[in-house]
């Protein structure tokens, strides 16, 4: 499973990239707003830190403007994945971009039917938002299971399932058990993966016992 971080905070991205465990970055207009930085220079900065896919989202909703924005975004770096909404115009842009060899992340997916359309349009990634589905009483992980199962029936589909709107570590674990290709998480959730009270307790005991030996490895 690939790990993307869902943030536009360059300091968080640099910290996670330094672990060697980060495979990519996803951004969206809300995250750009939160960063307080100019969009294009920020994406350029992120691309200089991360060698994997960096999702940069178009801001318009009509085909002609979306296409112009997408064309500008993909010129930032070869590993920019242009992010488009799952709408008729968005999928039209996706098809054109994918036919020209540009990675596309189709976002705001909430149904298996939508995911089929994205795969048909050649999306590199489909982003189902499981947390938002959970918020309205649906089961987001069931959607992931459905999409993974459908895509598995058709070897010609090359679209990777990128689980988005991750709220907790169990969303990651369950998505991995289902067979999702990618998860994109806030930095705080990725950091929660490290934690377990028994790890902390065991390490404290080992450290204390080592002190008692009076030895030094260095």
pLDDT digits over 104-152, tens only? 999 999 999 999 999 999 999 999 999 999 999 999 999 999 999 999 9
Question: Domain for residue 218, yes or no?
Answer: no
**pLDDT given at position 158:** 97
Q: What does pTM read for this prediction?
A: 0.95
Catalytic residue annotation: 83
**Pairing of the two strands 54-57 and 80-85:** parallel
Q: Which domain holds residue 25?
A: 2-213
Residue 177 lies in a domain: yes
153 within a domain of the structure (yes/no):
yes
Nearest to 160 by CA among 124, 192, 184, 134: 124
**68 inside domain:** yes
In this prediction, residues 69-86 reach a mean pLDDT of 98
25, part of any domain: yes
For strand 125-128 and strand 54-57, is the pairing parallel, antiparallel, or unpaired?
Answer: unpaired
What six digits make up the tokens of 43? Answer: 């994406």
Query: What backbone phi and psi angles, to 5 degrees, belong to 117?
Result: -60, -40
Can you give the length of the chain in residues? 218
Contacts of 171 (CB under 8 A, 6+ apart): 130, 131, 140, 141, 163, 183, 189
Domains identified in the chain, total number: 1
d(C-alpha 73, C-alpha 76), whole Å: 6
- CATH (domain of 10): 3.20.20.70
């Amino acid at each position: 499973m690939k790990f993307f971080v869902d943030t536009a905070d360059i300091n968080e991205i640099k910290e996670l990239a330094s672990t060697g465990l980060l495979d990519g970055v996803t951004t969206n207009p809300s995250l750009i707003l939160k960063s307080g930085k100019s969009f294009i220079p920020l994406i350029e900065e992120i691309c200089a830190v991360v060698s994997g896919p960096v999702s940069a989202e178009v801001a318009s909703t009509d085909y002609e403007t979306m296409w112009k924005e997408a064309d500008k975004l993909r010129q930032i770096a070869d590993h920019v994945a242009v992010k488009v909404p799952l709408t008729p115009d968005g999928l039209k842009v996706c098809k054109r971009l994918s036919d020209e060899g540009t990675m596309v992340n189709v976002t705001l997916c909430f149904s298996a039917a939508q995911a089929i359309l994205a795969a048909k349009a050649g999306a590199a990634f489909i982003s189902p938002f499981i947390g938002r589905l959970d918020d309205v009483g649906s089961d987001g992980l069931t959607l992931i299971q459905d999409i993974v199962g459908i895509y598995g029936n058709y070897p010609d589909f090359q679209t990777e399932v990128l689980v988005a709107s991750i709220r907790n570590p169990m969303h990651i674990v369950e998505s991995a058990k289902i067979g999702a290709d990618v998860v994109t998480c806030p930095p705080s959730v990725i950091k929660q993966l490290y934690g377990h009270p028994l790890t902390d307790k065991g390490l404290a005991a080992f450290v204390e016992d080592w002190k008692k030996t009076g030895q030094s490895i260095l």
